[in-house]
Amino acid sequence: MRRQLYEVQRAMRARREAALRRGVIAVLDIGTSKVACLVLQFVPDEGSGAPADRPTLRQGAFRVIGAANTRSRGVAFGEVASMEECERAIRTAIQGAQKMANLRVDHVIVGFSGGRPRSYGLNGETEVRHGAVAEHDIGHVLAACEVPDHGHDFEAIHALPVNFCLDGRTGLTDPRGQIGRTLAVDMHLLTINSAALRNVIHCIRRCDLELAGVAAGVYASGLAALIEDEQELGAACVDIGAGTTGISIFVRRQMIYADSVRMGGAHVTSDIAHALRITPQEAERLKTMHGGLVATGLDDREMIDLPSALGGWDHDRRQVSRSELIGVMRPRVEEILEEVRERLDAAGFEYLPGQRIVLTGGSAQIPGFEMIASRFLGRQCRVGKPLRVRGLPGSATGSAFAGAVGLALHVSHPQDECWDFEVPADRQGARRVTRALRWFKENW
Amino acid sequence: MRPLSAEPRRPRRDPAPSRLRYRIDRLWLRPWVRRTVNLGVPGLALVLASWTLFAQFDARDRVIAAYETLRESVVRRPQFQITSIEVPEASPDLAEQIRTAAFVTLPANSLEVDVNAVRDRVEALGAVERARVRVLTSGVLEIRAIERVPAVVWRSDRGIMLLDQGGARVAEVDSRRRRVDLPLIAGAGADAHVGEALALVAEAAPVRGRLRGLVRIGERRWDLVLDRGQVIRLPEAEPEAALKHAMALETGQKLLEREVTTLDLRDPRRPMLGLTPYGKDELARVRAEAAGGDA
């Protein structure tokens, strides 16, 4: 007997709906280098033909009323490494955003990029009961999917119906109301390490917040950085963060693959620190102020003062040229990109109609990154910034905030995920009362 | 002087709020907490402070005394003094009465004089129907009174009084001769029906010269008394119609100039005449002569 897959997510859905009714929700992007928090205020959508019981929102029906970000502590590779430190970082971000919004937030949606996400493609098939496909048929077909053995220490966080197939007609996004006999679905299941997930959940609980949802950071940054055409035709979003580099592939507005490389900007920084014998903080500063990836003749002559490790600027002064710095940074970036290329090849990215690759995340801001990336990933590379959302302060519009903005978009316009449909009664398990009630609901 | 070695660069202090600070901040963002602290606590402090102050007697006395002196200094200003009372458009006699009744000792203070009470006192006078009292800016208390006009003289067992049209007492007089121009009414309860009495007097115009007065009998009906002891007894209901009937008899047949003592109209279907003894005798004689003549 398969276990109840999405019980946690169902509980989260209830909380998310409560938050939407209240109109205020926070999104929290826990990254390796920074924790970003946005407080969103929603205007519930009136007048559209949405079912009344579930609050739905138009895309862009929210505005950002509070934004804060802070250096993150106690996070390594996108996972919580030190609970206490991570909690302090989250508290700082939440408090700053609350102060800007002048509102208290209780519900938070978390996106994080660690936990070794794995993608699975699932298939399910079922008979349509009454001719036209109804909600419960979709519930049935989703429940009919063969869930692969993803290991007991991994947990599903996204299960997106990518494609519906009705009597051989494929490529349907929403088959409800159509007539047919056999309904099949292709589903994309994303699992992450449950220990990492539980740590994050616990961390949020320690901050007196209620978790209203968890999203993979890759998914969120793909939502924010890819424009609609790219999502439709097929594109990959490469989110180069500090600790991890996330890869997500979108086609027909659905994410079909996600993966992550456990390398990122922090490794570049530590390379600089090692090579030039300076502290990591100073290396980070050097990287952001003078870093680059493509050396020119001018860079040989541009000398950078190195802060001395031992104090005393007069007897321990060192200088490096910018091309030396570039020489330190470039191999690591190339390594990351090679790894990304491998993952994309493994996912079969070259068979997609669109070959666009969008680079985002903080490390994508290194000058010359686009040029290097196009050598490794093909010609159609661009550095992407997140979509513009209302009320977002200018300081949070850079590509490093793609994850946070993507979470906001995800909240405002959630995909019809698997747990948005009720589980059919015969798979509900031994809850007799619930089953009886459901029977009543369906037949009366 | 610049130190030889640069200050060792310290990592920046972690700006993270402490757990307590974070909780307090989140609590502070609750609207009701904010309202309570911003309004409730100062209000409570104010109440407590005033309470403790007023719990001490000498402090309270000092506060009250300070208030009193402040009040005095305002009240004693000459702008607030009333130096005279004016009663325009009233006869000197009534003006004197009103001045006495107003019961204001001069010089008075315009902040302390209760003009409503003065008006009530003045209106309690019988001769005043309505009064308007106001303080003018020049320190004058003006009492504008509308006098009652006496309409009838009422003789009762409590004395002779002048009543106005509504039956309200205007004044007491020692003799009916003081106001011979007014009709006289008598009897208990007559003052409640002055209007009716006046209507009856107006109806009795043909015998105006002989009319002595109206008597209320048993607090329910009127007797019209003429000189020579003649009485017209009027019914309880519609006395005016009955009197009009009697006046028609008088003007047409000079009824009341004859030997009649009473004209009883109490039963409108059966008026009765009471005759003088001389009249009775004459009637008997005339009837006997008529019978003898016939016989």
Q: Are B233 and B247 in contact (CB under 8 A)?
A: no
Residue window 18-57, chain B: list those with CB within 8 Å of chain A: 19, 22-23, 25-26, 29-30
B26, B30, B34: which to substitute to probe chain A, counting the most A Cβ within 10 Å?
Answer: B26
3 state DSSP class of A263: coil
Q: How confident is the model at residue A2, as a pLDDT?
A: 41
Q: How confident is the model at residue B127, as a pLDDT?
A: 77
Q: How confident is the model at residue A157, as a pLDDT?
A: 82
A22, A72, A95, A204: which to substitute to probe chain B, counting the most B Cβ within 10 Å?
Answer: A95
In this predicted structure, the answer to whether residue B169 has a pLDDT above a threshold of 90 is: no
| Domain segments of chain B as ranges | 78-147, 191-290
Between A150 and A292, whose confidence is greater?
A292
Which of B9, B19, B29 is opposite residue A104, by nearest beta carbon?
A: B29
Q: Any chain A CB within 8 A of the CB of B78?
A: no
3 state DSSP class of A184: strand
The architecture (CATH level 2) of A1-116+192-226+387-444 comes to: 2-Layer Sandwich (3.30)
Element (H, E) at B86: strand B84-86
Q: Identify which of A12-16, A160-164, A274-278, B173-177 has the greatest average pLDDT.
A: A274-278
Domain A118-191 falls in which CATH fold?
Dna Ligase; domain 1 (3.30.1490)
Element (H, E) at A104: none
3-state secondary structure A7-76: HHHHHHHHHHHHHHHHCEEEEEEECCCEEEEEEEEECCCCCCCCCCCCCCCCCCCEEEEEEEEEECCCEE
Q: Considering only the top CATH level, what class is A228-385?
A: alpha beta
Most distant CA atoms of chain B, gap in Å: 176
Q: How confident is the model at residue B12, as a pLDDT?
A: 62
CATH of domain B78-147: 3.10.20.310
Q: How confident is the model at residue A312, as a pLDDT?
A: 60
Q: Considering only the top CATH level, what class is B191-290?
A: alpha beta
pLDDT tens digits along A62-115: 889 999 999 888 888 888 889 989 999 999 999 999 999 998 998 999 998 888
Which of A98, A207, A312 is opposite residue B5, by nearest beta carbon?
A: A312
> What's the gap between Cα B74 and its chain centre?
35
3 state DSSP class of A415: coil
Arithmetic mean of pLDDT, A344-353: 90
Do the Cβ atoms of A313 and B6 come within 8 Å?
yes
What ipTM did this prediction achieve? 0.74
A104, A206, A305: which to substitute to probe chain B, counting the most B Cβ within 10 Å?
Answer: A104
Q: Identify which of A372-376, B4-8, B199-203 has the greatest average pLDDT.
A: A372-376
A424 prior amide bond cis, ω within 30: no
Helices marked H in A177-261 — which ranges?
194-206, 217-225, 228-233
pLDDT tens digits along B248-276: 888 888 888 888 888 888 887 888 888 88
Q: Identify which of A139-153, B92-106, B141-155 has the greatest average pLDDT.
A: B141-155
Rounded Cα distance between B277 and B269, Å, is 26
Q: Are A352 and A317 in contact (CB under 8 A)?
A: no
- Where in chain A is CATH 3.30.420.40? 1-116+192-226+387-444, 228-385
Q: Any chain B CB within 8 A of the CB of A46?
A: no
